[in-house]
Structure 1
Amino acid sequence: MSDNGNTVLGILAGTAVGAVLGILFAPDKGSVTRQRIADEAATRRDYMADRATELRDSLGNTISSQKENLDHQVEAIMSNASYKAEDVITTLESRLKDLKAKNKNLQKKA
Protein backbone atom coordinates (compact mmCIF):
# COMPACT_ATOMS: atom_id res chain seq x y z
CA MET A 1 0.00 0.00 0.00
CA SER A 2 1.34 3.46 -0.75
CA ASP A 3 2.23 6.12 1.81
CA ASN A 4 -0.94 8.05 0.92
CA GLY A 5 -3.03 4.94 1.51
CA ASN A 6 -1.38 4.38 4.87
CA THR A 7 -1.96 8.01 5.82
CA VAL A 8 -5.65 7.85 4.92
CA LEU A 9 -6.02 4.55 6.78
CA GLY A 10 -4.33 6.07 9.84
CA ILE A 11 -6.60 9.11 9.76
CA LEU A 12 -9.71 6.94 9.44
CA ALA A 13 -8.59 4.66 12.27
CA GLY A 14 -7.74 7.63 14.49
CA THR A 15 -11.09 9.23 13.77
CA ALA A 16 -12.95 6.01 14.56
CA VAL A 17 -11.02 5.45 17.82
CA GLY A 18 -11.56 9.07 18.85
CA ALA A 19 -15.28 8.89 18.12
CA VAL A 20 -15.69 5.65 20.07
CA LEU A 21 -13.69 6.97 23.05
CA GLY A 22 -15.64 10.23 23.03
CA ILE A 23 -18.91 8.37 23.05
CA LEU A 24 -17.77 5.91 25.74
CA PHE A 25 -16.73 8.68 28.12
CA ALA A 26 -19.85 10.77 27.52
CA PRO A 27 -22.18 11.10 30.52
CA ASP A 28 -25.11 9.39 28.77
CA LYS A 29 -26.88 6.15 29.65
CA GLY A 30 -25.44 2.90 28.24
CA SER A 31 -28.33 2.35 25.86
CA VAL A 32 -27.89 5.84 24.38
CA THR A 33 -24.15 5.28 24.06
CA ARG A 34 -24.64 1.91 22.37
CA GLN A 35 -27.11 3.49 19.95
CA ARG A 36 -24.64 6.25 19.10
CA ILE A 37 -21.91 3.66 18.47
CA ALA A 38 -24.28 1.68 16.23
CA ASP A 39 -25.31 4.82 14.35
CA GLU A 40 -21.68 5.88 13.86
CA ALA A 41 -20.75 2.39 12.68
CA ALA A 42 -23.64 2.40 10.20
CA THR A 43 -22.61 5.83 8.93
CA ARG A 44 -19.00 4.68 8.43
CA ARG A 45 -20.14 1.45 6.79
CA ASP A 46 -22.31 3.39 4.34
CA TYR A 47 -19.48 5.81 3.61
CA MET A 48 -17.03 2.97 2.94
CA ALA A 49 -19.59 1.19 0.73
CA ASP A 50 -20.10 4.37 -1.29
CA ARG A 51 -16.34 4.87 -1.67
CA ALA A 52 -15.91 1.23 -2.73
CA THR A 53 -18.63 1.66 -5.36
CA GLU A 54 -17.01 4.85 -6.65
CA LEU A 55 -13.61 3.12 -6.79
CA ARG A 56 -15.08 0.12 -8.63
CA ASP A 57 -16.79 2.38 -11.18
CA SER A 58 -13.66 4.46 -11.66
CA LEU A 59 -11.52 1.37 -12.08
CA GLY A 60 -14.02 -0.10 -14.55
CA ASN A 61 -13.97 3.10 -16.62
CA THR A 62 -10.17 3.19 -16.60
CA ILE A 63 -9.91 -0.45 -17.67
CA SER A 64 -12.46 0.09 -20.44
CA SER A 65 -10.61 3.17 -21.68
CA GLN A 66 -7.25 1.38 -21.63
CA LYS A 67 -8.73 -1.62 -23.47
CA GLU A 68 -10.06 0.64 -26.22
CA ASN A 69 -6.68 2.34 -26.46
CA LEU A 70 -4.91 -1.02 -26.70
CA ASP A 71 -7.38 -2.22 -29.35
CA HIS A 72 -6.68 0.88 -31.46
CA GLN A 73 -2.92 0.43 -31.09
CA VAL A 74 -3.10 -3.24 -32.09
CA GLU A 75 -5.27 -2.34 -35.07
CA ALA A 76 -2.79 0.36 -36.14
CA ILE A 77 0.14 -2.05 -35.82
CA MET A 78 -1.67 -4.71 -37.85
CA SER A 79 -2.60 -2.19 -40.53
CA ASN A 80 0.96 -0.89 -40.71
CA ALA A 81 2.35 -4.42 -40.89
CA SER A 82 -0.10 -5.25 -43.68
CA TYR A 83 1.02 -2.24 -45.74
CA LYS A 84 4.68 -3.11 -45.18
CA ALA A 85 4.07 -6.72 -46.18
CA GLU A 86 2.35 -5.50 -49.34
CA ASP A 87 5.35 -3.27 -50.10
CA VAL A 88 7.75 -6.20 -49.60
CA ILE A 89 5.66 -8.42 -51.89
CA THR A 90 5.53 -5.72 -54.57
CA THR A 91 9.31 -5.23 -54.37
CA LEU A 92 9.95 -8.98 -54.56
CA GLU A 93 7.62 -9.35 -57.55
CA SER A 94 9.45 -6.51 -59.33
CA ARG A 95 12.84 -8.08 -58.63
CA LEU A 96 11.58 -11.49 -59.75
CA LYS A 97 10.40 -9.92 -63.00
CA ASP A 98 13.85 -8.35 -63.51
CA LEU A 99 15.59 -11.66 -62.74
CA LYS A 100 13.35 -13.50 -65.19
CA ALA A 101 14.21 -10.96 -67.88
CA LYS A 102 17.95 -11.29 -67.16
CA ASN A 103 17.67 -15.08 -67.19
CA LYS A 104 15.84 -14.97 -70.51
CA ASN A 105 18.63 -12.79 -71.99
CA LEU A 106 21.29 -15.15 -70.64
CA GLN A 107 19.53 -18.16 -72.14
CA LYS A 108 19.33 -16.41 -75.54
CA LYS A 109 23.08 -15.77 -75.48
CA ALA A 110 23.91 -19.34 -74.58
Structure 2
Amino acid sequence: MNDDSKVLLALLAGIAAGAALGILFAPEKGTETRDKFNDALKNLGDTIKDRAAEEIDNLASLKDKIVDNIKSTLGSLEDDIDEVKNTQSEPA
Protein backbone atom coordinates (compact mmCIF):
# COMPACT_ATOMS: atom_id res chain seq x y z
CA MET A 1 0.00 0.00 0.00
CA ASN A 2 1.55 3.32 -1.01
CA ASP A 3 1.53 6.52 1.03
CA ASP A 4 -1.37 8.05 -0.91
CA SER A 5 -3.53 5.01 -0.19
CA LYS A 6 -2.65 5.18 3.51
CA VAL A 7 -3.56 8.87 3.63
CA LEU A 8 -6.84 8.23 1.85
CA LEU A 9 -7.66 5.34 4.18
CA ALA A 10 -6.88 7.49 7.24
CA LEU A 11 -9.02 10.31 5.81
CA LEU A 12 -11.96 7.98 5.22
CA ALA A 13 -11.62 6.52 8.72
CA GLY A 14 -11.58 10.04 10.17
CA ILE A 15 -14.65 11.02 8.21
CA ALA A 16 -16.50 7.91 9.36
CA ALA A 17 -15.49 8.47 13.00
CA GLY A 18 -16.49 12.13 12.81
CA ALA A 19 -19.85 11.25 11.29
CA ALA A 20 -20.51 8.64 13.98
CA LEU A 21 -19.60 11.04 16.80
CA GLY A 22 -21.65 13.78 15.21
CA ILE A 23 -24.71 11.54 15.13
CA LEU A 24 -24.24 10.45 18.74
CA PHE A 25 -23.90 13.97 20.11
CA ALA A 26 -26.13 15.88 17.70
CA PRO A 27 -28.80 18.05 19.33
CA GLU A 28 -30.93 17.93 16.19
CA LYS A 29 -34.01 15.93 15.33
CA GLY A 30 -33.53 12.41 14.03
CA THR A 31 -34.77 13.26 10.55
CA GLU A 32 -32.31 16.14 10.23
CA THR A 33 -29.50 13.96 11.51
CA ARG A 34 -30.39 11.19 9.06
CA ASP A 35 -30.47 13.67 6.19
CA LYS A 36 -27.04 15.01 7.13
CA PHE A 37 -25.73 11.48 7.53
CA ASN A 38 -27.10 10.50 4.11
CA ASP A 39 -25.47 13.57 2.56
CA ALA A 40 -22.16 12.72 4.26
CA LEU A 41 -22.35 9.14 2.97
CA LYS A 42 -23.14 10.38 -0.53
CA ASN A 43 -20.14 12.72 -0.43
CA LEU A 44 -17.96 9.90 0.86
CA GLY A 45 -19.19 7.64 -1.95
CA ASP A 46 -18.45 10.35 -4.51
CA THR A 47 -14.96 10.80 -3.08
CA ILE A 48 -14.31 7.07 -3.26
CA LYS A 49 -15.59 6.93 -6.85
CA ASP A 50 -13.38 9.85 -7.87
CA ARG A 51 -10.32 8.31 -6.22
CA ALA A 52 -11.05 4.93 -7.82
CA ALA A 53 -11.38 6.58 -11.24
CA GLU A 54 -8.02 8.32 -10.73
CA GLU A 55 -6.36 5.03 -9.76
CA ILE A 56 -7.90 3.26 -12.77
CA ASP A 57 -6.51 6.00 -15.03
CA ASN A 58 -3.09 5.62 -13.36
CA LEU A 59 -3.19 1.86 -13.90
CA ALA A 60 -4.22 2.27 -17.53
CA SER A 61 -1.35 4.69 -18.07
CA LEU A 62 1.09 2.30 -16.41
CA LYS A 63 -0.21 -0.56 -18.58
CA ASP A 64 0.32 1.53 -21.72
CA LYS A 65 3.89 2.34 -20.68
CA ILE A 66 4.64 -1.33 -20.01
CA VAL A 67 3.15 -2.44 -23.33
CA ASP A 68 5.12 0.24 -25.20
CA ASN A 69 8.30 -0.81 -23.42
CA ILE A 70 7.73 -4.47 -24.28
CA LYS A 71 6.99 -3.63 -27.93
CA SER A 72 10.13 -1.52 -28.12
CA THR A 73 12.22 -4.29 -26.58
CA LEU A 74 10.76 -6.88 -28.93
CA GLY A 75 11.45 -4.61 -31.90
CA SER A 76 15.07 -4.25 -30.81
CA LEU A 77 15.37 -8.01 -30.37
CA GLU A 78 13.93 -8.62 -33.84
CA ASP A 79 16.46 -6.17 -35.30
CA ASP A 80 19.29 -7.94 -33.47
CA ILE A 81 18.09 -11.35 -34.70
CA ASP A 82 17.88 -10.07 -38.29
CA GLU A 83 21.39 -8.64 -38.00
CA VAL A 84 22.75 -11.96 -36.71
CA LYS A 85 20.97 -13.85 -39.53
CA ASN A 86 22.41 -11.47 -42.12
CA THR A 87 25.88 -11.82 -40.65
CA GLN A 88 25.66 -15.61 -40.71
CA SER A 89 24.38 -15.74 -44.28
CA GLU A 90 27.18 -13.55 -45.69
CA PRO A 91 30.20 -15.41 -47.03
CA ALA A 92 33.27 -15.17 -44.88
**TM-score range for the pair, normalised by the shorter chain length:** 0.7 to 0.9
Displacement of 1:12 after TM fit?
A: 1.8
Q: Which runs of 5+ in 2 are unaligned?
A: none
**In the aligned structure 1, how far is the partner of 2:65 from the partner of 2:20?**
42
Structure 1 residues 11 and 47: alpha-carbon distance in aligned structure 2, compared to 1, 3 A threshold: closer
Moved over 6 A (4+): none
TM-score (norm 2): 0.85
Corresponding position of 1:56: 56
Q: What amino acid does structure 2 have at the position aligned with 1:71?
A: K
Quote the RMSD (CA, aligned, Å).
Answer: 1.7
Q: What amino acid does structure 1 have at the position aligned with 2:56?
A: R
Displacement of 1:60 after TM fit?
A: 0.7
Q: How does 1:67-86 map to 2 (within 5 A)?
A: 67-86=67-86
Q: What amino acid does structure 2 have at the position aligned with 1:13?
A: A
Q: Taking every aligned residue pair, what percent have the same amino acid on both sides?
A: 31
Q: How does 1:89-108 map to 2 (within 5 A)?
A: 89-90=89-90, 93-94=91-92
Displacement of 1:8 after TM fit?
A: 3.5
Corresponding position of 1:42: 42
With CA pairs under 8 Å and 6+ residues apart, which has the higher RCO, 1 or 2? 2
> Tell me, what secondary structure is at the counterpart of 1:28?
coil
Tell which structure's C-alpha radius of gyration is larger.
1
Deviates most, 11-20 or 28-37: 11-20
Corresponding position of 2:65: 65
